[in-house]
Structure 1
């Protein structure tokens, strides 16, 4: 590894009002290094990266880039220095072409006054950067028609076209299939070989150990440690992340599984994403759904919640057939859905934390404002949402705390069927443990729990049974208790069902 320092951030401090989010934080990245960066949601990772990329101004501390101190970082200066950022939520203009996105704001003109673009040059230069990241797309393709994986490659190509020397990858695999993750890792390693540095932010331990060379860990806005990844165990990293030892990440307790409560038979949707899906879920049971991205898991859950249109099939709750044509119908029948896309489907970003939590309790014509405040404060404590004020916009929270707001919203209701779609997506290990505990308590109370997850260890840790999807149908079932101590074997079986390699 090249020991030459590309940049360092020392004693960085940042406050928002009276809340101090960074306290003498630090980060040092070497040239040609893949540097893992971890911390719980709200630990200050995003704030530190926004300071590095010039989106926020530090209150104190120093940034030294290639031996020169940067007194005031701005977005333009960050770009000039070679700092690229691939955000978790991709920032692309969906209706423009790939080339227009890669060179947005920097289009080559044959006549700038008349606005005549040199498309030949634009497409040639775009092709060069697309080839560097191995993107199998054309410069003229419209971005909205591309897969999430290809959109991410376009973001990387855009960063490289700005002569980036270091690229920040913020939770880059949250929406990618295993195959796409492998491709991304190949690209990041290829960039290292070409002399680029990468800052890799992730909550997934497997990725950190597979890709990272050194790791920096933050907690509560403070620097905790920097170390060689190979010198640390997963247990040691978790202990540094949360400041305590998590003895059991999956607090699964024995529950009394009752009679069948939800029964679906031959479900089909109008988009042909769900094809003859049938299953039974019982009271007190945590039923998992595995499968590759696009296999029909999420689409099935949306049918149950009335978010998508049902073409045919039957849904029975407590042995009675029900008709669910809308989310309102689903809620009346005691079904709630914690969506995979919390930003667009689970939260109202412009409203406060209080308003988001209490939205499900607004059933009466007259509502006491103090009741809403008390309800929100109680919910914040119950699910451990880290906030200084429930009147803050929900968008001000970290991803993990936003997820807890969505959870708190539904815990306010007396639902019987809880559908969790990727409940721990982009969430740190401490918050995961808390959410698993809540799911466990719901099962103990006799609720019926459905969980969609792309992480097989998660499903094995918290579920009683797992159904596996492939191309819109359920191709296999796993009784988790039958495979205790045989995790490798059952994971292989689930992947066999998911890919139909039988």
Structure 2
């Protein structure tokens, strides 16, 4: 699959307003989550919406998408005032939304997903589906986005995450959308896939589509957006042209204070100790012949492209996948971890990539989630963990009404902190982190980074997978790079993004 990057001139500097929201206010259970917000999106413009988790971004997007009804406020689209009581009404008015969690049917084709519920019929509304026309229309949509290599008849299950993202965007465009909202569209994409998305966004803006772009990745916000709006605690903080902002200023507006160092420096009092985790020739159906060491007090970053085997390696260490050959050692002793339960007994902690599906019980309380692992595997420690947990959660700056609050009602950043708290309860020797800051705001990221450094001070070994190269470079004491299920090599701390990508893609070997 490729995306052709357009070469025509960009749209005019100031397009006409495509959507104007005024006085948007919303409360849940007496708690105001968005207060009197004004927002103008202009044709042909990418408008960034940023703020910490809980700032009100998702609530605003859902009101514009027809998921929530505002308590007060007005929405004008294309010069006409509209009112949405259902997402279908928003779509018919030309406002489409691509949410972070895809809404696709995996066992249906690309064409069937795009036209679901709106399939063209041969003989009016009651006739059979005109499959040929539906596929032609789909191919035209994809061609209009500059996408080649995707076929309308392909099952969605066989697509990569980036390709599924394109299907969601094509579905949005199929409604003749004049406004498209994108919620963390690159959260699950590798760097080379992000470039494909950029090309599609450029094509959409050249056609006059207004895009509301929500992302915690400030680098891409500055790269894509012409205007940035900042929210904090449900209120409007600032709306400025991107050229009037620096990254440091934007962070200050978002969190209300300057973050003097985005990535905390390695503590001077931390000395790297003996080898805590060692792999020698580990292989199975997912990874092949991997040998590595992580020492006490050390953060080792694991970089690589999507599908390189990074997540699968962590899952193998933790016991999700069996070790077919090779050995895993902990503190110099070979261990046999055949299940996650055995991984926990060995005092291995695994912070999964998908906290909602694999890391949390969303309909349970904060306390039940944080005590779940220790209660199941180390029941004798439960009483002590229960006594310690309020202090742990306070140290992590978890914002919640009480320990009895259901996790599903927390922001993404606070949910991630609850995941961290549950693993701290087992007093881990090794922490395996898979995309530990995905989808959380800069303030929460900074707290996660501080916790990682605190763990190294306690002698914990950290093995971290991240698709964000600045994060890998900024937090790692050493960088290991994977390619095709194998270790491609090692780079020192502070290496350039170019050198990491060259090793991940094999370009370094080709050059040699």
1:149 aligns with 2:162: yes
- 2:227 touches 2:241 (CA, 8 Å); kept in 1? yes
Quickly say closer, same or farther: Cα 1:112–1:313, change in 2 above 3 A: farther
Equivalent in the alignment of 2:201: 188
Equivalent in the alignment of 2:59: 47
Pick from 199, 208, 217 the counterpart of residue 221 of structure 2: 208
Structure 1 window deviating more from structure 2 (297-306 vs 471-480): it is: 471-480
Q: Secondary structure at the match of 1:110?
A: coil
Quickly say closer, same or farther: Cα 1:364–1:411, change in 2 above 3 A: closer
1:402 aligns with 2:408: no
- 2:281 touches 2:291 (CA, 8 Å); kept in 1? yes
Q: Distance in 2 between matches of 1:369 and 1:461?
A: 36
Equivalent in the alignment of 1:96: 108
1:20 aligns with 2:32: yes
Q: Distance in 2 between matches of 1:10 and 1:329?
A: 55
1:500 aligns with 2:506: yes
Deviations 1:254-313 (A, max 9, x none): 3111111111100112x2x31110011111111111111111111110000001122111
Q: Distance in 2 between matches of 1:375 and 1:82?
A: 51
- 1:467 touches 1:476 (CA, 8 Å); kept in 2? yes
Gaps of 5+ in 2: 1-12
Quickly say closer, same or farther: Cα 1:9–1:448, change in 2 above 3 A: same
- 1:133 touches 1:156 (CA, 8 Å); kept in 2? no
Equivalent in the alignment of 1:262: 277
Q: Secondary structure at the match of 2:113?
A: helix
Q: Distance in 2 between matches of 1:101 and 1:376?
A: 45
Task: Please report how far the alpha carbon of residue 471 of structure 1 lies from its aligned counterpart in structure 2 after TM superposition.
Answer: 1.2
Equivalent in the alignment of 1:298: 311
TM-score (norm 1): 0.94
Equivalent in the alignment of 2:346: 333
- 2:413 touches 2:440 (CA, 8 Å); kept in 1? yes
Equivalent in the alignment of 1:109: 121
Structure 1 window deviating more from structure 2 (178-187 vs 237-246): it is: 178-187
> How many residues matched?
493
- 2:344 touches 2:377 (CA, 8 Å); kept in 1? no
Quickly say closer, same or farther: Cα 1:79–1:439, change in 2 above 3 A: same
Equivalent in the alignment of 1:250: 263
Q: Secondary structure at the match of 1:450?
A: strand
Equivalent in the alignment of 1:347: 360
TM-score (norm 2): 0.92
Task: Please report how far the alpha carbon of residue 73 of structure 1 lies from its aligned counterpart in structure 2 after TM superposition.
Answer: 4.6
Q: Distance in 1 between matches of 2:390 and 2:430?
A: 25
Q: Secondary structure at the match of 1:116?
A: coil
Structure 1 window deviating more from structure 2 (428-437 vs 382-391): it is: 382-391
Deviations 1:32-84 (A, max 9, x none): 11111111111110000001111001112222222333355532321111011
Q: Distance in 2 between matches of 1:439 and 1:244?
A: 21
1:213-252 superposed matches below 5 A: 213-252=226-265
Structure 1 window deviating more from structure 2 (345-354 vs 13-22): it is: 345-354
Could you say what the CA RMSD is over the residues aligned between the two structures, in angstroms? 2.1
Equivalent in the alignment of 1:414: 427
Q: Distance in 2 between matches of 1:35 and 1:42?
A: 19
